[in-house]
Structure 1
C-alpha cells in the first residue's frame, strides 16, 4: 500500500512516529522486586501508618523468599492535612527501622513550594495559600497577618528555627523520578512529545492538564499522583493514585508484582 502524502512527507523530514500503546497486562517490574507506590499523603499520619504496617507485613514474607521489595513515595507529604511534621518524622525513620526494604522518596510540588518559601519567602508567598498555612501551624508557627514583607520574612525565620535539621535535609534530598521495569514514577506527570531524558523537573512536579488530557506512550508507564481522581486510573500509559487522602478519600497504594497490579486503599 502506498502511504498517504502527509505520511511520506513526515518520513522524509525525519520525524519519528509515536510508538504504539502497549497493553497494560504486558507491563511489569522485575520478578525479584515487588514494588509499592504510595500517592499524596498531605499530613495524613494515621493513613500513612496503616499503609506502612500493611506493606511491612507483606515485605517480611517477601524478603524471606529472597525478594527485594521497594516502596516509592510520590511526593506531597506536607500541607493541607493536620500532621505534616509527624509524616516527615515517620518517613525519615523508615530506612533505619526497616533496612530490608528499599525506600524511595520523590519530591512533590508542595515540598518544592515549601523549600521555595524557605529560600525566598516573598517570591513564594503563594505557598501559604495552598496548604502552607496548615504546615506552619503544625510546626508551631502562626501564619502572617497580611502580606507585608517584614511579616513574611519573620514567618520564614520562625519556620526555619522550628524545622528540625533532619526535616530540612530530607526535603532537600528528594528525587524527581524513579524507574523500575516498565514503569516511571514521578509526582505530577510528563510533557507529551518530550523524550524522557529531556523532561524538565518543573513538569514532573507541576504539570497537569497537558499530561492528563494527552494519552501518550513515553516508553514507560507513568505512575503519578498530584491530580485527585475519584478512583485509581489504570491505563497503559499512566496510573494515577492521588485519591484525595487529605479531603476524605483513601490513601492509595499501587502494588506491582511481575505483570500484576492492584491498588489498596487506606482510610
Structure 2
C-alpha cells in the first residue's frame, strides 16, 4: 500500500487527525507495512512546525515495518536556509536575492519580513 501526504504546513492537529483517520480506515497490517510518502511543505502557515517535524521523525520508530520517504517542498527550502542548514548560494549572493522575482506576491500572500528574512530564499 502506498500513502501520499502533502502540505502539512505546520498544522499538527490536522496531521494527527489524518493519521487517526488512516488508522481507523485501513487494516492494521496494511498501515503497518505501507510505503508512506510525505510530499513536503512541513512548515509555513501553521504554528506547530516543531511538533510536525517531531511527529514525522518518530514514525520510523513507531512503525518499524513502514517505509517512509520525506520529500522537500517549496516551503521547506526557505525554512532550511533560515535555520542555517542550507549552504549559501555558490555565487556568493545572499539568499534574499531570490525574493526579488516574487516581491509582487508579498501583499496578498502575507510573506514573512521579520528578523531572519535575509537568510531565507525561494
The question of a shared fold, defined as TM-score above 0.5 by the shorter chain, is answered with yes
1:60 aligns with 2:31: no
Structure with greater Cα Rg = 1
- Higher helix fraction (1 or 2): 2
Structure 2 unaligned regions, length at least 5: 100-105
Compute the TM-score of the two structures, normalised by the length of structure 2: 0.66
1:36 aligns with 2:3: yes
Deviations 1:90-113 (A, max 9, x none): 101111011122121111111122
Structure 1 unaligned regions, length at least 5: 1-33, 134-142, 157-205, 207-267
What's the C-alpha RMSD, in Å, of the aligned pairs?
3.3
1:94 aligns with 2:59: yes
- Higher strand fraction (1 or 2): 1
Instruction: Number of aligned residue pairs: give it.
Output: 104
Shift >3 Å, 4+ stretches: 119-122, 129-133
Deviations 1:92-139 (A, max 9, x none): 11110111221211111111222234244972234xx77884xxxxxx
Relative distance call for 1:88 and 1:79 in structure 2 (3 A) is same
Relative distance call for 1:84 and 1:68 in structure 2 (3 A) is same
Which residue in the other structure is 1:124 paired with?
95
SS of 1:80's equivalent in the other structure is coil
Structure 2 counterparts to residues 1-267 of structure 1, below 5 A: 34-57=1-24, 58-62=26-30, 68-117=33-82, 118=84, 119-120=87-88, 123-125=94-96, 126=99, 133=112, 143-144=114-115, 152=118
In 2: Cα distance, 1:99 partner to 1:131 partner = 40
